[in-house]
Structure 1
């Protein structure tokens, strides 16, 4: 019989090469071995061991985006994410998921705690030990959270498990609400011994502000439809394993309004704590990083209003600046894997060097749904704005002087649209090529359009994204590699999310005034007109909040979970729902051939089993306590 995967991966450890002189420590090291003791010999070794516990923290952006309705990649890329969106995953074919990495990281955390308890490292006092324990307990909570939202009810690993652990003691799935309570308790306990913020040299390590933000997001998810009485598989239960107080039940089948009140309390506390104690604040026009002075004005078709331009610059810097520059919006972030994270959204044929083109991959391509759901300059959705061009003319030329390729849909939009989206005839950042902007030609195979010379690198929608690209990125004819790229962190938690989380709770509890105040805080910062109660006659409050969340947090890894917890995935992710422009019509299409609303030619589909991910077949085969996700 194969060893249970959850135990195997729990017991494997990622002790880094900087910790150990040997390279064979991917397998279990019994505590009595000297090399493991070396990880606790002094303060430096302990810190290195502590940092290794963060290895499981992953970039949630490139992982989750292409599987939802925000973006898509070319079909030729054939990634695990695409297979997920095609409903091609199974218990034996899993090209996507966090199961092994997360349980691996949890095992590393418990090993750290075990060794810390029995060691007296040189230069480590009790106060330091207390904080290290809190950091690692937060990470245990975070990894369980990531597993819970991907896989639904999961096994809780709350202590170190040796190789001699009997199979009968390996846990099965615990009830969803029980896991929620476990994570919340871990967050609360860790927060009491962690600082509210970190100095620059320690930024990225756990804080109490991050603990409370994680708890708030978790309880928001738990209050949402999917996990609050509407899970589609009512009879999905454990066969053997029982959760204390819940028996074999895994998901509650009745709606509990108290979950929204609990979520609101947590969201309110997290936001106030971050602002009052964590030093977090929204980046605003009047406190932009000083380098904005050297940032050229972006091209905005038929709009040169000074305040509008300032807000476009502001929103282009929200994710492309650091606390050192005065941006305190991030609570927690991670530096992405540069080779993919940097090049993925960039256009083709940026600059020619030594006879060859420097090119991005043109992936993370925004869908038409994305383009249509940013607001107009009047603060409304294009389809609801009486002053915006009629929908039948959206894909026609806007007649912009010298830019006839720009369509009506891309004119008269809000600042975030011009900060984060890129379109045919527009420009891709202000200083990209030798200090000048790059005007996009998404139709030409010799420019930024699909080319027979490049098999998989092209935008399948006809649009590009630049949210994760520095507005002052510059490639020169003489420079090499990534130009002047700084590789800014990707957000895992930022303050804008906390406002939107609380707004959603207010709306669920019919607290309209409070919800509007929070959503308007985000809109006002972005240079978008504030909502009034009269706007709720056009679109319900919750729909406004969901759309604002879609826009503000676009591409940051939230949408995958939002469409599921709101249970709108069957509509938003079904076959035929994703659209773009007619990129595949032909190479070098005309304006009229290119600008046609077209269903993206990929086998997207939705099945309710896709609400959660499957676990590996070995988990179920080898562990009598474990059951598979429904439908797999």
Structure 2
């Protein structure tokens, strides 16, 4: 392992993972390999470099991924995401905005270097510390392989040791999912059940079980997925936070108890912060308004009594933003919404209003979820990012149960999420398809903007229907002389048709890998 430099203070990477920690490394400019492994403090510093993998950029990458789906729209017409979803650019083996091959194998190499060095040089470390260090590296390797697997149909190259430079072929999906499961199983077995308050954000057994549940859902290993959630629940540590809106207003410095957080990423301004509100906030806030929720999503938020909203319902259409479920008000800034001491105005002609061309909303809506209403300097954001929360685990469980025809159990997991959302009438399903449709709706709403929608549509086999030959909708609002409003559903894609060919369900192996590795052949659909 090539440990040449180790930073002797907590870097930005370290602050992402933990609030504070008693680490006192040996201070020098250059370390030989033996010094790097000589103390728990030095090894801990090396582990901290992995934590940016779970949230360094707050929710920026997640909302951008959701803009490839039907719930968010980039407001600038020539944004690269708009160009791709509307077919002006295409995915090819040489150019893919959603490719992560080089990123993935860089991190896999880093994980394997750490594991190799730990095995060779860490035998003097306390057993409990050694096992936790190994488990953290295995968790991150499993996570990186999962991110590769979901893009490339689980046809990737497995390395469980340092790459010897010998070309290797693609592994089978069965081998890849087995590898991911094994890494996460061992991580779960060796990670602590809990961590101290000062180490909040470090990996735990629950984090490994939660990630395994997510990965096995993609693998369509339904029992393995539901078993992982059941093991997580057996820890008796996790529950839904009582208030959905308040869940997304948590600051690490406030140290509130939050049983919904399975793995989170903390920020502490001014030393470590993010600028999410600056890039995505409304113009009147001083934001760049890069992205807006679509009406495709907004109309999925039900009425408070659990009935569906419909623009065809004259009462709903007259007052579309009244009487909706609480998650709507927690997630969406709409015309008339109270916000930062003012009333949002998204009608045509207002500063925050509807327009085409960028710099303001082209759908009639802005994000509310993830924004800090108390923030005055938009570059000083410090709310918590959730890599995984218990609501997602319940929805994973519901789907995995549904696929095993455990309809009652699946509906119960689903209804737990809905009860927190304020619904008093539980849902029941008559068959597997019915329950899966209910779960798909709930994931769209509950997990909005958290980076799941695009990948969900792909794994469900629905992307070629929902994202191809379609457009997303916005609402153009006009204010009348008497202060009344009229609402017109408009094509937010400006009469362009969305493009998602079937071969996008498995991205091409990057051209660079094909050129340097004679044992890797391009997928048939991309030749």
TM-score range for the pair, normalised by the shorter chain length: 0.7 to 0.9
Q: Using a 3 Å threshold, how does the CA distance of structure 1 residues 15 and 204 change in structure 2: closer, same or farther? A: farther
Q: Using a 3 Å threshold, how does the CA distance of structure 1 residues 63 and 202 change in structure 2: closer, same or farther? A: farther
Task: Write out per-residue CA displacement over residues 114-149 of structure 1, whole angstroms, 9 at most, x where no aligned residue.
Answer: 222222599x42321221011111111111111111
CA distance in 2, matches of 1:608, 1:16: 46
Contact 1:99 1:147 in 2 (8 A): yes
2:92 corresponds, among 68, 90, 93, to 90
Q: Using a 3 Å threshold, how does the CA distance of structure 1 residues 443 and 161 change in structure 2: closer, same or farther? A: same
User: Could you say which residue in structure 2 is the equivalent of 1:328?
Assistant: 259
Q: Are 2:264 and 1:346 equivalent residues in the alignment?
A: no
CA distance in 1, matches of 2:197, 2:4: 26
Contact 1:580 1:598 in 2 (8 A): yes
User: Could you say which residue in structure 2 is the equivalent of 1:66?
Assistant: 67
CA distance in 2, matches of 1:451, 1:504: 39
Task: Write out per-residue CA displacement over residues 340-392 of structure 1, whole angstroms, 9 at most, x where no aligned residue.
Answer: 52323321112xxxxxxxx1122331111111111111112224xxxxx7446
Gaps of 5+ in 1: 1-10, 21-32, 224-258, 285-313, 351-358, 384-388, 399-407, 476-480
CA distance in 1, matches of 2:4, 2:334: 43
Offset, 1:520? 1.4
Offset, 1:444? 4.8
Contact 1:13 1:107 in 2 (8 A): no
Alignment partner of 1:491: what SS? strand
**Over the residues paired in the alignment, what is the CA RMSD in angstroms?**
3.2
User: Could you say which residue in structure 1 is the equivalent of 2:474?
Assistant: 580
CA distance in 1, matches of 2:277, 2:241: 23
CA distance in 1, matches of 2:287, 2:511: 38
Alignment partner of 1:320: what SS? coil
Normalising by structure 1, we get a TM-score of 0.71
Task: Write out per-residue CA displacement over residues 196-226 of structure 1, whole angstroms, 9 at most, x where no aligned residue.
Answer: 2222322222211111111111111221xxx
1:280 corresponds, among 238, 243, 265, to 238
CA distance in 1, matches of 2:3, 2:275: 26
Contact 2:157 2:169 in 1 (8 A): yes
Q: Are 2:289 and 1:370 equivalent residues in the alignment?
A: no
User: Could you say which residue in structure 1 is the equivalent of 2:215?
Assistant: 218
CA distance in 2, matches of 1:155, 1:120: 28
Offset, 1:81? 7.4
Contact 1:368 1:461 in 2 (8 A): yes
User: Could you say which residue in structure 2 is the equivalent of 1:355?
Assistant: none
Task: Write out per-residue CA displacement over residues 404-437 of structure 1, whole angstroms, 9 at most, x where no aligned residue.
Answer: xxxx221221111111111112223xxx2xxx2x
Q: Are 2:500 and 1:606 equivalent residues in the alignment?
A: yes
Q: Are 2:374 and 1:473 equivalent residues in the alignment?
A: yes
Task: Write out per-residue CA displacement over residues 247-279 of structure 1, whole angstroms, 9 at most, x where no aligned residue.
Answer: xxxxxxxxxxxx433333233223333xx1xx2
Radius of gyration: which is bigger? Answer: 1
User: Could you say which residue in structure 2 is the equivalent of 1:75?
Assistant: 76
Matches within 5 A, 1:155-234: 155-162=157-164, 165-166=165-166, 170-223=167-220
Q: Using a 3 Å threshold, how does the CA distance of structure 1 residues 14 and 363 change in structure 2: closer, same or farther? A: farther
Q: Using a 3 Å threshold, how does the CA distance of structure 1 residues 173 and 451 change in structure 2: closer, same or farther? A: same
Offset, 1:536? 5.5
Offset, 1:159? 0.6
Q: Are 2:231 and 1:269 equivalent residues in the alignment?
A: yes
Contact 1:576 1:600 in 2 (8 A): no
Alignment partner of 1:581: what SS? strand
Q: Using a 3 Å threshold, how does the CA distance of structure 1 residues 34 and 202 change in structure 2: closer, same or farther? A: closer
Q: Using a 3 Å threshold, how does the CA distance of structure 1 residues 552 and 449 change in structure 2: closer, same or farther? A: same
CA distance in 2, matches of 1:465, 1:91: 34
User: Could you say which residue in structure 1 is the equivalent of 2:15?
Assistant: none
User: Could you say which residue in structure 2 is the equivalent of 1:54?
Assistant: 51
Task: Write out per-residue CA displacement over residues 10-60 of structure 1, whole angstroms, 9 at most, x where no aligned residue.
Answer: x9999665589xxxxxxxxxxxx9644443343322111111233444555
User: Could you say which residue in structure 2 is the equivalent of 1:463?
Assistant: 365
CA distance in 2, matches of 1:98, 1:84: 18
Contact 2:355 2:362 in 1 (8 A): no
CA distance in 1, matches of 2:506, 2:486: 39
Task: Write out per-residue CA displacement over residues 523-563 of structure 1, whole angstroms, 9 at most, x where no aligned residue.
Answer: 11111233243x759x9222111111111111111112111
Offset, 1:506? 2.1
